[in-house]
Every structure is written in C-alpha cells, then in structure tokens.
C-alpha cells in the first residue's frame, strides 16, 4: 500500500515478484520430495513469510498495535462493502476448485490445483503486478485522455510481451516440464496445464484494463 501510494513501482514489483518466485520454487521442490498436494500449501506459506520479510527490508514502516473504536467504526462503515465484494470475488475465483473437489475427488482437486498453479503462476501473477502498478499511473493521467490512452497501450504491450512467451512455452513444454520436475505420476495434468495456460493468457491481457475500465479507450 505504501509503495503504491508513493508511486514506488519498482518496490511493488520486487515485493510481489520475490514472493511469487519463492512460492514457485518451494512448491516445485516440495512436489519433487513429497509427491503430494501439500507442496502447494508449503509454497503458499513460504510466499507469505518471504513477502513479510521483504516488506520489512525495503520499507522503514513498522506496525504498532493500537485500538481506536471510533476509527474502527468509521472504517467498518466504509469497508463493509469492500469486504462483501471481496468475498464474492474470492468465491468466483475458487468456484472451479469447489466444483472439481465436490464432483470429482480430493485427488483430482490436487492435480487441478497443481496444474493451475504452475501454468498461471508466472503469467497471471506477474501481469497482476503490472496491472496494480498501472493503477496510480492511470489515476494521475485521468484528466489527460491522450496520455492516458498512450499509457494504456504501452502497458498492454508490456503485458503481452510477458504473457505470450510464457503461455506459448507452457503449452509446448508442459509434458517435458511435468516429467522432469514432477514425475510420471503427474503426467495427467499436462492437458489441463496447457488449457489453463491459454486461459491465463487471456485473463492477463484483460486484467490490463481492470484498474480503470479502459475498454472505452479502444
């Protein structure tokens, strides 16, 4: 939040990218050792821990506990709608997990989660960082239509430059990647990984306009 407020985009990227990379590395190593869906849990846990450490390293702010009921009441009045929308977004993002887990099995859900995490991690996570960083820039240019439009297309090109090579690489190299890093028992996730890589490409490009509804600029 502080980095975005202060327009320190490089620190936003460093903070997010280090966490994402940690998640990916730990999840893959854990998958090689454990050969179970717990690898995903360990990857996510490592990401959160490393992200906290990095935030302390690159920013001087140190949180302190204090209780102010008046401010808490004001924040709740404003934030309850955000909380509600966040819950709906969370449900929407995980409805596929619920479906797979309920209709198929916990094992199928584990395969699906691993396929989704690997195929989308670098692609969508990195482009989400780009989209998040773009928000303050869009806000500063909101009254300058021409510059805003140029900024939008510049960020769109950057997003595509990152997303397309990753998606194409995942589609063609998914079998080899799975065999080398996960082993033969995980080969059933290859097709799912390839399909999700394409879906992630579309999602990452669309996310470029999310911060301000930039579709009308096209």
Residue environment code for 157-194, b if the CB has 16+ CB neighbours within 10 A, otherwise e: eebeebbeebbeebeeebeebbeeebeeebeebbebbb
pLDDT of res. 123: 62
Listed in sequence order, the residues at least 6 apart from 159 whose beta carbon sits closer than 8 Å to its beta carbon are 127, 130, 131, 204, 205, 207, 208
Start-to-end CA span in the chain (Å): 29
Position 10 pLDDT exceeds 70: no
pLDDT at 217 (0 to 100)? 45
> Does any domain span residue 30?
yes
Q: Residue 123: inside a domain, yes or no? A: yes
- Count of domains in the chain? 1
Share of the chain above pLDDT 70, in %: 72
CB 159 within 8 A of CB 134: no
Is 89 part of any domain? no
Chain centre distance of CA 109: 19
Of 15 and 176, the structure prediction assigns the larger pLDDT to: 176
Distance CA 35, CA 182 (A): 7
At residue 80, the 3 state secondary structure works out as helix
Give a yes or no: residue 72 inside a domain.
no
Q: Which residues contact 100 (CB under 8 A, 6 or more apart)?
A: 108, 109, 112
Q: Which domain holds residue 128?
A: 2-65+104-217
79 located within any domain = no
Is there a domain that residue 80 lies in? Answer: no
> Looking at residue 4, what is its pLDDT?
60
pLDDT tens sequence across 113-149: 777 777 776 666 667 677 666 766 676 777 777 777 7
Residue 151 pLDDT > 80: no
Residue 81 lies in a domain: no
Chain segment 36-74, per-residue pLDDT in tens: 767 778 888 998 899 889 888 877 766 677 777 777 777
Encoding tokens for residue 31? 């998958």
């Amino acid at each position: 939040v502080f980095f975005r407020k202060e327009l320190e985009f490089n620190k936003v990227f460093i903070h997010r990218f280090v966490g994402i990379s940690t998640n990916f590395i730990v999840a893959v190593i854990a998958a090689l050792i454990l050969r179970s869906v717990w690898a995903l849990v360990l990857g996510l846990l490592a990401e959160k821990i490393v992200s906290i450490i990095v935030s302390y390293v690159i920013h001087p702010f140190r949180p302190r506990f204090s209780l102010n009921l008046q401010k808490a009441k004001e924040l709740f009045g404003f934030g309850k709608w955000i909380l509600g929308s966040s819950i709906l977004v969370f449900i929407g993002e995980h409805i596929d997990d619920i479906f797979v887990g309920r209709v198929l099995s916990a094992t199928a859900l584990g395969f699906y989660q691993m396929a989704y995490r690997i195929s989308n991690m670098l692609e969508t996570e990195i482009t989400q960082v780009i989209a998040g960083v773009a928000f303050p820039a869009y806000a500063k240019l909101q009254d300058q239509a021409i510059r805003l439009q140029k900024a939008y297309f510049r960020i769109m090109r950057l997003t595509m430059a990152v997303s397309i090579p990753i998606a194409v690489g995942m589609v063609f190299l998914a079998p080899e990647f799975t065999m080398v890093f996960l082993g033969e028992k995980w080969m059933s996730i290859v097709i799912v990984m390839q399909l999700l890589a394409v879906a992630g490409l579309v999602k990452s490009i669309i996310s470029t306009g999310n911060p301000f509804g930039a579709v009308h600029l096209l």
